[in-house]
Amino acid sequence: MPGIYLAPHPQLTLESNWTPEARLGCLTPEAHHPYNAISTTLERPNGVPLDLKSTINLPKTAFPMKANLPQNEPKMLHRWEQLRLYESIRQAHKGERKYILHDGPPYANGPIHLGHALNKCLKDFVVKSKNMAGFDAPYIPGWDCHGLPIEIKVDQQLGGKKLQMKALDVRIECRKYAEKFLNLQREQFKRIGVLGRFERPYSTMTPEYESVVIATFYKFFEDGFVYKGLRPVYWCWHDRTALAEAEVEYETHTSPAIFVRYRMQSDARTIDLALADTHITKDKPVYTIIWTTTPWTLPASMAAAFHPHEEYVALEAADAIYIVAEKLAKSVAENCGFADAVAIAKFPGSAMEHTYFYHPFLPWERRKILGVLADYVTMDTGTGVVHTAPSHGAEDFVTGQRYKLDANCDVDAAGRIRNGLPEYDGLQIFQANEPIIELLKSHGALLHAEKLEHSYPHCWRCHNPVIFRATEQWFISMETAMPGGTFRSRALEDIKKVKWDPAWGEERISNMVETRPDWTISRQRVWGVPIAVFACDGCNQPLSDPSVNRKVVQLFAKSGADAWYTDQAEGLAAGAKCPNCGGAAFTREMDILDVWFESGCSYLVEIGKEPDYPWPSDLYLEGGDQYRGWFMSSLLCSIAAHGSAPYKGVVTPGWTLDEQGRALSKSRGTDVDPVDIANRLGGEIVRLWVASVDFREDVVGSEKLMQRTAETYRDIRNKLFRYVLSNLFDFDPAQDAVAFEQLRPVDQYILRQTSVLADDVVRWYDEFAFHKIYQRVTNFVIVELSAFYVDVVKDRLYTFAPKSAGRRAAQTALWRIGEALTRLLAPIMSFTSDEAWQYLPKLEGRPGSVHMAKFPTSAEILGGDSIAREDAQQKSDWTTLLSIRDQVLKPLEEARAKGEIGKSLEAQVKLTASDPLYAVLERHRDDLRYLFIVSQVSLERGSGNGSSSLQVEISRAAGEKCERCWNYSIRVGEDAKYPTVCERCAPVLHELDSEPGASKS
Ligand SMILES: [Zn+2]
Ligand SMILES: [Zn+2]
Ligand SMILES: [Zn+2]
């Protein structure tokens, strides 16, 4: 059997004297020993028959083979709560170095999904392993509770009722909704074994949290970061409210589609000489043509946008020249009635930049239309020239900002046009379409009009078509001057001081900070922290008065942000004076803050709340979407409020995907619900799956993988925990443990291997390389422990006298392995490790839960002898012995295949070796038969010193088969009292005879 030691599937290479269950891989301790079949009863001189099986040290343990995780984990959770485990751990680690993983708050609007489970389990691995490595590592889970998704859900529940409700009452409904899901998620996170301060989490909707958010806003406000400015938003004129993108639905709508000509004011020579020549010599005016489906926006028209890289042509018609995109020229000419016009010039759109046009009906003194360039101009419909109204479109607004165009909005909240010509002034926008078309006709500007049915945004609530409307919003300026630079440059500097893992994170967030526009922090919603600022009734300027602001902070800390919506807030500006106009009457602003601003304050909230919460935290661990979200807002809030980044390190897991690399999906049937897995297979399986994946990459979650993980779980449970425990039933380490130097060499060997494993595992926890731990431990359990050590020591464990030095040595090794692995696995296999911990022999002063213990050191695993591991001769001896073992097992297997022997114990092995092999074998002469699991080994010194210095000969073992241990020996029959057993077993039986109450029949 070459390679039994390193075989990837050791179950398939097990000895043939193993039971069928063992071959199937379901290794029970009973299956590990081959003596179950013993049924012999010996006659004894005293007449009392002796049942041989009862003299074998059969393994036994109450640690169940079947885990029943779905039933038993909730009981374990209950036990932890009774122990007040989290608090006890904190107490035990008091005064140690702090390690802070600051939790990113999930949004409280639904049950948890697999991505949440991955996130929280990884955090739990980090926190638990840091505590076990000797840090004081608290974990304070948080929840993000404000914001639009919850408000929309509540709006849907309330229906039309919401319009009649006061803001405060809507907030109460939203709070109930968030509380419900916070509580649900809290139970779900606990169910998969996450340990933390769950009964006092942080939540963005508590008075304390809200007061820190508003205090942080005031810090920005008073330090001059904040300004108000215009921005276009979706607007429902019927409900008189701004709408978020998510609140808009597309429905079919019929609009007028019109072609309108704008006459050029600029000198045509600056564009193209041929065009200019025709224009001048034939006295034909030059126009461009725009196409629009919203005639009501024409009063707000500020520019005509051309694509910079598309070709435009000048078409000469009977009495005018028209500039349109070449690709659309034919259809425009046909629609507008000059199909036989001729192209007289061609030039790129970029030539039109900074030209001027007359507005089709507003006088030149009042409106100059600027030629501008924009990439979003398409060649699908229209003319390739886009009428631009910065107050009524998102793209128009951006273009308007670039060309410094007026974005003031002349449409009021109810959708009525203000400051217009008498023909349409005061009309509701859609009613203004017709008069405006008439106006275009009377000015000779309308070339063509038709009806168009198209998909158009509607209000999800009242189903009226919505409009874009520029409104005032609050911004934080990225260019604000700060000590040592600007807000932006300081953020960029601090990014470099953070350890980003994976390393690409640094470039990603740097690029975002470098290019991000000013931060829009206002929302026209209800469910959030209000931008609690008073505006002057006289001049509408926001009041920045620190003494007023402090009063608001105090009010929020006491009564929560809800207080802003009550008359408690009204009097707070009393006595203040507007620095701008001297006014003394003020009105509350009702916008709320962007929720990212709120969660960005989470670290500031914990400072001073959790005792000695240090600045900054050691770690933030969240998905890649948080570069734009929480990593960003936390960085910006902290730099402005605290002068530096809130984190020393940031770790980013990949996405959870299905086996085809797509997002998990309920409708496709590929969704994996972690709570469902916990209820069917166990929370431990979810945890073990998280440990099994390389989380820095995108990870795959599927039912199949969960089932496979459950198989690995069973291996670890039974081949490690249950096997170890079942052989310690009569072992009290305080009395029975054997010193390292008195262990058999193979016991020393396996403990050295365990101590190397422990060092690796502890280092990998530090590197968050959990998948390496998973692989290494699984390999150790299946290959080194189960397929090698367990195999080699079974004779000693089962057939030696219970208290013999040899058996106690093997038990000592198993006990130390059990102690070490239970602790090393505790952060990942939190339930099973603590279960096994209860069954391990209890030494004085041992904590009641493995989660309060520390990681084992090499010295502990080696019984205090940390130098033993470095024994160079032992190391090289074992390399040699394991290789010789392979060379012996191969011919043994061949002999068995040929039928020369049955079980390997029926064989004897003759080794002929020359130095240096001989010296090694000589040193371990007495252990060789156990290493090969044969009855006899003879060793001879070979003569040669050539390359093949080892010869292996297999033959049938000499002597008779011992009825008790099944080894063959020429000395079976020597003992008068027990003639059917060997010279090793007879003394054991005599010893048992001499014990009081020895008749174990
Ligand atoms: Zn509406
Ligand atoms: Zn004022
Ligand atoms: Zn025997």
Name which of 607, 618, 687, 648 is nearest 195 in CA terms. Answer: 687
Task: Give the global pTM.
Answer: 0.83
State in Å: Cα 471 to ligand 1 middle. Answer: 17
pLDDT of residue 44: 60
pLDDT cut 70: percent of the chain above it: 93
> For residue range 885-898, what is the model confidence (pLDDT) as tens digits?
999 999 999 999 99
> For residue range 261-301, what is the model confidence (pLDDT) as tens digits?
999 999 988 899 989 999 999 999 999 999 999 999 999 99
State in Å: Cα 980 to ligand 3 middle. Answer: 9
pLDDT of residue 37: 55
The HSE-up count of residue 809 (CA atoms within 13 Å, CB side) is 21
State in Å: Cα 165 to ligand 1 middle. Answer: 16
State in Å: Cα 51 to ligand 3 middle. Answer: 15
Query: Do you know the residue count of the chain?
Result: 1001
pLDDT of residue 222: 96
Is pLDDT larger for residue 842 or for residue 562? 562
The answer to whether the Cα torsion of 361, 366, 370, 375 is positive or negative is: negative
Rounded Cα distance between 321 and 319, Å, is 7
Rounded Cα distance between 346 and 357, Å, is 19
Nearest ligand for residue 578 CA:
2
pLDDT of residue 36: 55
Mean pLDDT of the chain: 90
Here the tokens at position 93 are 């680690």
pLDDT of residue 39: 57
Q: CA 49: distance to chain centroid?
A: 65
pLDDT band at 807 (very low <50, low <70, confident <90, very high): very high
State in Å: Cα 952 to ligand 3 middle. Answer: 25
In the predicted model, what is the mean pLDDT of residues 402-422?
92
On the question of pLDDT at 976 being above 70, the answer is yes
> For residue range 708-728, what is the model confidence (pLDDT) as tens digits?
999 999 999 999 999 999 999
pLDDT band at 568 (very low <50, low <70, confident <90, very high): confident
Nearest ligand for residue 247 CA:
1
Nearest ligand for residue 542 CA:
2
pLDDT of residue 42: 66
On the question of pLDDT at 386 being above 80, the answer is yes
Rounded Cα distance between 509 and 479, Å, is 17
Contact 537, 543 (CB under 8 A): no
State in Å: Cα 416 to ligand 3 middle. Answer: 104
What are phi and psi for residue 243, nearest 5 degrees?
A: -125, 145
Contact 379, 328 (CB under 8 A): yes
Three-class DSSP category at 555: helix
> For residue range 769-783, what is the model confidence (pLDDT) as tens digits?
999 999 999 999 999
Nearest ligand for residue 235 CA:
1
Angle, CA 873 vertex, CA 868 and CA 878 arms, to 5°: 90
Nearest ligand for residue 983 CA:
3
- Asked if the peptide bond before residue 435 counts as cis, ω within 30 degrees of 0, the response is no
Nearest ligand for residue 795 CA:
3
Here the tokens at position 690 are 């998280």
Contact 332, 468 (CB under 8 A): no
Contact 318, 334 (CB under 8 A): no
State in Å: Cα 594 to ligand 2 middle. Answer: 26
Name which of 764, 750, 730 is nearest 863 in CA terms. Answer: 750
On the question of pLDDT at 359 being above 70, the answer is yes
State in Å: Cα 178 to ligand 1 middle. Answer: 25
Which H or E element spans position 286? strand 286-292
Is pLDDT larger for residue 319 or for residue 6? 319
On the question of pLDDT at 563 being above 90, the answer is yes
pLDDT band at 35 (very low <50, low <70, confident <90, very high): low
Nearest ligand for residue 969 CA:
3
Rounded Cα distance between 297 and 410, Å, is 10
Would you give the end-to-end CA distance of the chain in angstroms?
40
> For residue range 491-545, what is the model confidence (pLDDT) as tens digits?
999 999 999 999 999 999 999 999 888 888 988 889 999 999 999 999 989 999 9
State in Å: Cα 79 to ligand 3 middle. Answer: 46
pLDDT of residue 872: 82
CB atoms within 10 A of CB 889: 23
> For residue range 917-960, what is the model confidence (pLDDT) as tens digits?
999 999 999 999 999 999 999 999 987 655 558 899 999 999 99
Nearest ligand for residue 248 CA:
1
Three-class DSSP category at 946: coil
State in Å: Cα 248 to ligand 1 middle. Answer: 9
pLDDT cut 90: percent of the chain above it: 79
pLDDT of residue 248: 83
Rounded Cα distance between 388 and 307, Å, is 13
> For residue range 122-173, what is the model confidence (pLDDT) as tens digits?
999 999 999 999 999 999 999 999 998 899 889 888 887 877 889 999 999 9
Is pLDDT larger for residue 248 or for residue 111? 111
CB atoms within 10 A of CB 554: 13
State in Å: Cα 562 to ligand 3 middle. Answer: 83
> For residue range 662-683, what is the model confidence (pLDDT) as tens digits?
888 888 888 999 999 999 999 9
State in Å: Cα 800 to ligand 3 middle. Answer: 9
Three-class DSSP category at 169: helix
State in Å: Cα 744 to ligand 3 middle. Answer: 20
DSSP state of 461: T
State in Å: Cα 430 to ligand 1 middle. Answer: 15
Here the tokens at position 972 are 């079976």
On the question of pLDDT at 16 being above 80, the answer is no
pLDDT of residue 864: 75
Rounded Cα distance between 108 and 180, Å, is 8
On the question of pLDDT at 255 being above 90, the answer is yes
In the predicted model, what is the mean pLDDT of residues 229-242?
84
State in Å: Cα 233 to ligand 3 middle. Answer: 89
State in Å: Cα 1000 to ligand 3 middle. Answer: 18
CB atoms within 10 A of CB 841: 18
Residue type for 753, please?
Answer: Q
> For residue range 815-871, what is the model confidence (pLDDT) as tens digits?
999 999 999 999 999 999 999 999 999 888 889 999 999 999 998 999 876 666 677
pLDDT band at 45 (very low <50, low <70, confident <90, very high): low
Q: CA 754: distance to chain centroid?
A: 31
Contact 885, 792 (CB under 8 A): no
Rounded Cα distance between 501 and 505, Å, is 7
- Asked if the peptide bond before residue 106 counts as cis, ω within 30 degrees of 0, the response is no
Lowest mean per-residue pLDDT among 420-434, 504-518, 929-943, 983-997: 983-997
State in Å: Cα 766 to ligand 3 middle. Answer: 49
Name which of 312, 379, 385, 303 is nearest 351 in CA terms. Answer: 312
pLDDT of residue 871: 79
Beta-carbon contacts of residue 47 (< 8 Å; ≥ 6 apart): none
Burial class (CB in 10 A: 0-12, 13-18, 19+), 870: exposed
Name which of 757, 739, 760 is nearest 868 in CA terms. Answer: 739
Indicate left, alpha or beta for 638 from its phi (over 0: left) and psi (-120 to 50: alpha).
Answer: alpha
State in Å: Cα 586 to ligand 2 middle. Answer: 9
State in Å: Cα 788 to ligand 3 middle. Answer: 22
Long-range contacts of 893-898 (CB under 8 A, 24+ apart): 893/1, 894/954, 895/954, 896/16
On the question of pLDDT at 434 being above 80, the answer is yes
Rounded Cα distance between 634 and 709, Å, is 36
State in Å: Cα 228 to ligand 2 middle. Answer: 15
Lowest mean per-residue pLDDT among 639-653, 677-691, 930-944: 930-944
In the predicted model, what is the mean pLDDT of residues 741-756?
94
The strand order across the sheet containing 356-358 reads 356-358, 368-373, 303-306, 385-388
Rounded Cα distance between 518 and 236, Å, is 25
